[in-house]
Amino acid sequence: MCFSYEVSIGTFMTSWGISIYLLNNRNINFKQKLDIYFLMIFSTMQLADAILWFIKMKKNNINYIVTSFFIPLILAAQIIFNLYYRNNGKYLLLNILAIFTIIYFFFKFNGYSTSLCDNYLSSPIWGSSEIKFWEIFIFAILIFYPKLDNSLILFTLFVFFPLMYFFMDGAYGSLWCFFANILAFKYLLTY
């Protein structure tokens, strides 16, 4: 989630542009291709947010459909991709947790997104229900496991998330925007 239409659509276009460039112009291995495909799924959230910003978070059918269906589907796709494409479904407990988490997302985000207006880093609050720390933590495990030894992921989980919750009054969804940009440029420079 980004804090404006322009930033959301720009992040989506940048992440997808870098991804398509890497897939077509670099000699990358299978693991790197999986990373790029994941980035494309992950950064698609910026398109959903751009739609919400474009309609100014009005409580209409578009807001309801994007919030209640597209956002949970994009979140579910990230989980499914990590557990079944990267890890071939081999972690039984995570597979069970994933089922409950995906169902939970469809209930949690059912409704309309609103904007967090009293914060510089305003972002859509999906389903008018701000994301909680434990939800982000479980989601991060489901989309990154077993890559939890990655320093960027560890820093984010144990330093950035807690600091963000301590110092900010919302806009936690801006993490999607932050990570989509960081990952896109990291892959551009390293792949």
CA angle (153 as vertex; 152, 156 as ends), nearest 5: 85
- Rounded Cα distance between 10 and 47, Å, is 9
**Cβ atoms within 10 Å of 42's Cβ, excluding its own:** 21
Query: What tens digit of pLDDT does each residue of 18-52 get?
Result: 999 999 999 999 999 999 999 999 999 999 999 99
Question: Does pLDDT of 138 surpass 70?
Answer: yes
First and final CA of the chain: distance in angstroms? Answer: 25
Which sign, positive or negative, has the C-alpha torsion 84, 88, 93, 94? negative
> Tell me, what's the pLDDT at 156?
67
What phi and psi values does residue 56 have, to the nearest 5 degrees? 60, 35
Cis omega before residue 146 (within 30°)? yes
Q: Indicate the Cα dihedral angle 8, 12, 18, 21, nearest 10°.
A: -150
Query: What tens digit of pLDDT does each residue of 144-183 get?
Result: 887 766 666 667 667 776 776 666 655 566 667 778 888 8
> Tell me, what's the pLDDT at 119?
52
